[in-house]
Structure formats: C-alpha cells, structure tokens
C-alpha cells in the first residue's frame, strides 16, 4: 500500500473528483462564476499563474495546476488539505461559499483544512511539516485574519503533536491505515 492508495481511498470516501486545469475547459468560467479569482483580492494572480501554480477546489472538484504531473500519492500534502474543502462543501453546499467569501470564514476554513493535512502528515511521518504558509493559495486575508488563522494552526499543531487527531479526514486516514496499510503509519 502507498500514499496513492490512501489518497484514492479518501477521494472515494469524501466523493472528491480531481481534474487537471489544462484538461478543464470550464475552469476559467467556473472560477469566474464562483468569484474564485476575486477572493485573491489585491494579490490577484495572473491568469497564467492561476492556471499553473494554484490548486483550486470548487465544490467537490479539486483542480490541480496545469503543469502538475506527479501522482496523487506524491501530492498527498496538498490534496489532503483540499479534501478538507470538499468535506466542508458537502456539509453545507449553500452556506459554505457564503462563509468562504468572508475573511473570518476563510481564515477558519483554511485553518481547518490545514489541520486535516497536518494530522495526516503527522500520522505518516511523525512530523508536522513546517507551519503552513497561509498565503500558499494567495488568500486575501488582512493581518488580523492571518493572525487568527495562525493562532488556530498553532493550537492545532500543539494538539496534533501530542497525538490528538480530530478532523474527519485525519480520523478516517488513521482508521484506513490501521486496517489496510499499517506500514504507512509512523507509529504502529
């Protein structure tokens, strides 16, 4: 078993779909309709950079950057973050985009998704990764909301380091590895 199997399992479990931006004719119009680009605020990426450098999740579909040709398993770190967005979307498809459109909602949701990814990194490797850079997606957050998100993440990091796994994706990953791929668990 490998990270590929783990990611595929999580995709099935949470009904995620993955597409590459280069194959997704609809990407730009969909991004416009959902106001995705506006969320970048003053740091609006160029169209080229948006297509080539960013993972974007809209509803249940995770769009990978145009040049991304690594296997799903090799993209584990970022995909487990994106799965968090899909989970939140299904939880309340109508309220999710509304919440995400606010700075506070966005800070909270991004911290939630990072926590899930962090938990899986810890389960796999015993490391948290360096504290995530919240500007990875170019979120339009002001200083106050960056602080909020980083505070949430620091709290999460402390819990995860003491072995507390609390997000659905983290719990599911742990269960699946225990049953199917204990060799992937850092701590047996």
In the chain, the N- to C-terminal Cα span, in Å, equals 15
CA geometry: angle at 68 spanning 183 and 47, to 5°? 145
Q: Helices (DSSP H) in 21-166: which residue ranges?
A: 27-33, 47-53, 76-91, 95-100, 103-125, 143-161
What's the min distance (Å) between Cβ of 62 and Zn ion? 10
Residue with smaller CB distance to Zn ion, 100 or 184: 100
Q: Which residue has the tokens 């993972």?
A: 55
Residues 85-144 that bind Zn ion (CB under 5 A): 110, 113
Site string (11-40) toward Zn ion, x via CB under 5 A: ------------------------------
What's the min distance (Å) between Cβ of 113 and Zn ion? 5
Q: Which residue has the tokens 């309220």?
A: 95
DSSP state of 160: H
Residue with smaller CB distance to Zn ion, 66 or 115: 115
Residue with smaller CB distance to Zn ion, 110 or 172: 110
What's the min distance (Å) between Cβ of 36 and Zn ion? 12
Residue with smaller CB distance to Zn ion, 78 or 184: 78
Which residues here bind Zn ion, judged by CB under 5 A? 110, 113
């Amino acid at each position: 078993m490998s990270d590929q199997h783990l990611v595929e399992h999580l995709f099935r479990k949470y009904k995620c779909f993955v597409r590459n931006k280069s194959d997704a004719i609809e990407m730009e119009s969909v991004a416009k309709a959902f106001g995705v680009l506006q969320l970048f605020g003053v740091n609006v990426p160029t169209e080229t950079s948006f297509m080539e450098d960013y993972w974007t999740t809209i509803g249940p579909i995770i769009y990978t950057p145009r040049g991304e040709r690594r296997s799903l398993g090799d993209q584990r770190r970022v995909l487990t973050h994106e799965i968090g967005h899909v989970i939140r979307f299904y939880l309340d498809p109508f309220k999710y985009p509304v919440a995400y459109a606010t700075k506070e909602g966005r800070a909270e949701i991004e911290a939630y998704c990072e926590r899930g990814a962090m938990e899986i990194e810890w389960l796999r490797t015993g490391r948290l990764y360096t504290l995530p850079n919240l500007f990875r997606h170019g979120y339009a957050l002001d200083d106050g909301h960056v602080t909020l998100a980083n505070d949430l993440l620091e709290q999460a990091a402390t819990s995860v380091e003491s072995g507390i796994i609390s997000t659905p994706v983290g719990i599911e990953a742990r269960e699946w590895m225990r049953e199917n791929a204990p060799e992937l668990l850092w701590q047996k």
